[in-house]
Structure 1
């Protein structure tokens, strides 16, 4: 029996040493989420400025000749099922998809998990600054745009009336973490895997972009701001080097060259 056909010996996963403690990571991620929610709540109370900034953003988009948000929404409004599906996607995919992404990286690509968690933490922390400095009402609240609050009209909705909604800050539209996190999920999976089809993960942020704009929850510039923040974080925090472990193994086991030569000489 040659070395190539012998049963592979158990070898330690060289990437396992990069995996941080589970309890510590759970507490860290939950803590970051709570800080984010608290920070957004502390940034409430700027209603007049939020609407003033909304008109500025709307006028700037028209000056830049960006596609009109109503063009995307009119496509969704062709059928009740389509617009409800978009509202459901907005309400239910954002957090579960990001959590699933982090869990998968933690289990299968620990080094990429640490990198992705740092990126998401930096982007989320940076996103807390804008609601204080640039509160922004979402386009669904802006009169004269022709946009419909699809969640309120067709459901399901994650928001209540702004005056009584104490669980979220609806005047913190910029940046769109829906888009920023979705884009990071795609980039992280592309970096951590080697499948030829891995670029299809970009469909997730693309679909998210169409949903957040079509449901009138965000402006185009909200997504652009999130992309800029993510780009800055990616420039500062580099991913781990791609290896057979960090980027996924192929269908066959990598056999050291010395063992191949030894088997050929028998």
Structure 2
């Protein structure tokens, strides 16, 4: 096997051995890899649930920064106006004035973020197993980067700015026909355990891009691949139209997803490398 393929085998997290012997330089990594693979397999769902809980729980860390979060929101709007890119008001006005746009957008916002992400993750595990570990780790790293943004730059979404901003909370506008208690799309009774000042970056857009790129790359049906490309675009329109995110939030969501993709390969190789170093230290 080539050195590159050896690394790919060790990073995949599969029990299937290579057809040929590993390169001598990577034999110590092979000793560490089985333990790492077993740990990831045993803890994969638990780890995903933990990161998902941290995603929502991290919002509690910024609950006391309301004034700062609102100022950050206004700063983002100012920056967008300076760039001549501020579609939020137009989209929000259209969604607020036309229920045939607003109501479907509310349901898309409140359901797809977790639902489609879980479906794609399960599809990878069930039907594209060779891509599952990489896809899962990519999602975890993207979410972790998003958590850093939530804490480092607490941001109030457009719907929570003062009335002079001109935004309408579209989810609150149609709360009587949904299961959510108001803005934010959370089920009734759970609003008190979340914090809304975590708009930057938009992981609604980030997770949607993760789903869309994997669907486009791995699906064999042309229509499904096209839907994969459209999905993050639709979500970006929805989150701005419902006044839950700014355009720059969406851009940042794309950025953390692509950064997560870039960093997934190196982080997957880091575990076996550390294991090999420890194994070599024990033998010496």
Which bracket does the TM-score occupy, shorter chain normalised?
0.7 to 0.9
> Quick one: distance in 2 between partners of 1:150 and 1:53?
21
Further displaced range: 205-214 or 149-158: 149-158
Partner of 2:59: 40
**Structure 1: unaligned runs, 5 residues or longer:** 1-14, 240-266
1:66-92 CA-partner distances (Å, limit 9, x unpaired):
133121123323432321111111011
Cα pair 1:51 1:142 within 8 Å, conserved: yes
1:145 has 2:172 as partner: no
Aligned to 1:224: 251
Match of 1:188 among 191, 195, 214: 214
TM-fit CA distance, 1:130: 1.9
Shift of 1:193: 2.6
Confirm or deny: 8 A CA contact 2:69 2:154 kept in the other structure.
yes
The two structures have a TM-score, normalised by structure 2, of 0.72
1:154 corresponds, among 130, 152, 174, to: 174
> Aligned with 1:208: secondary structure?
helix
Q: Provide the rounded CA distance (Å) in 1 between the counterparts of 2:181 and 2:154.
A: 17
The 4+ residue runs of structure 1 with deviation greater than 6 A are: 18-22
Q: Which consecutive residues of structure 2, in runs of 5 or more, have no partner in the other structure? A: 1-12, 17-36, 185-189, 267-284
Task: Write the distance in 2 (CA, Å) between the matches of 1:23 and 1:62.
Answer: 49
Q: After alignment, is 79-88 or 49-58 more displaced?
A: 79-88
Q: Give per-residue Cα distances to partners, 1:71-121, cap 9 Å, x unaligned.
A: 112332343232111111101111011000100100011121211111111
- Residues 84 and 69 of structure 1, relative CA distance in 2, 3 Å threshold: same
How far apart in 2 are the matches of 1:238 and 1:103?
A: 21
Aligned length: 225
Bigger Cα Rg: 1
Mark the CA change 1:182 to 1:148 in structure 2 (over 3 Å): closer, same or farther: same
Q: Distance in 1 between matches of 2:153 and 2:230?
A: 30
Contact 2:172-2:183 at 8 Å conserved across structures: no
For residues 22 and 212 of structure 1, the distance between their equivalents in structure 2, rounded to whole angstroms, comes to 34
Change (3 A) 1:57 1:159: farther
TM-score, normalised to structure 1, is: 0.76
What do the CA deviations read for 1:192-231 (whole angstroms, capped 9, x no partner)? 2343341331111111011000000000000101111111
Q: Establish whether residue 210 from structure 1 lines up as the match of residue 237 from structure 2.
A: yes
Quote how far apart the aligned CAs of 1:39 are: 2.2
The corresponding residue for 1:119 is 138
Cα RMSD between the aligned structures?
Answer: 2.6
For 1:119 and 1:190, locate their aligned partners in 2 and report how far apart those are by CA, in whole Å.
16
